[in-house]
């Protein structure tokens, strides 16, 4: 069936290092969303990408949507301890695109 996959599952970095998580869909997506979940919290929306090849930035976070609209990435420059959490990508799957389907997430741990 249609899936959204994310790698890596875990990432340990030293504070100040960069971090990247990758998301791949088995099917072309109309858009992709990114969420962050802090430990013990609930997912919180970060951004949505819609256009092929789109790149968006939020301070130290850079989001990209692939040309084929089947993959995406989130890059964090110079990580901080406040970046700790799990980052999820999500896309609308299903025949009608009504199933908001999440990737498995990448858990980021930052050593101070």
Binding residues for another protein, rule CB under 8 A, total 28
Nearer to another protein, 73 or 101 (CB): 101
Stretch that binds another protein, among 12-20, 54-62, 65-73, 86-94 (CB under 8 A): 86-94
Question: Please, which residues have CB within 8 angstroms of residue 7's CB and are 6 or more apart in sequence?
Answer: 21, 22, 24, 106
Can residue 33 be called a binding residue for another protein (CB under 8 A)? yes
Contacts of another protein in 42-71 (CB under 8 A): 42-45, 48, 50
Residue 101 CA to residue 4 CA, distance in Å, equals 7
Whether the Cβ atoms of residue 53 and residue 66 lie closer than 8 Å to each other: yes
Q: How far is it, in rounded angstroms, from Cα 42 to Cα 84?
A: 14
Sole binder of another protein in the list 14, 59, 82, 98 (CB under 8 A)? 98
Contact predicate 25/6, CB 8 Å:
no
Binding site for another protein (CB under 8 A): 1, 6, 9, 29-31, 33, 35, 42-45, 48, 50, 88, 90-92, 96-105
């Amino acid at each position: 069936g249609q899936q959204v996959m994310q790698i890596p599952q875990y990432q340990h970095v030293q504070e100040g290092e960069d971090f990247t998580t990758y998301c791949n869909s088995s099917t072309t997506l109309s858009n992709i969303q990114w969420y962050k979940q802090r430990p013990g919290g609930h997912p919180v929306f970060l951004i949505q990408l819609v256009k092929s090849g789109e790149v968006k930035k939020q301070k130290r976070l850079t989001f990209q949507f692939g040309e084929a609209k089947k993959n995406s990435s989130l890059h964090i420059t110079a990580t901080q301890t406040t970046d700790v959490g799990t980052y999820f990508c999500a896309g609308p799957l299903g025949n009608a695109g009504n199933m908001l389907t999440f990737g498995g997430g990448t858990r980021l741990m930052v050593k101070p």
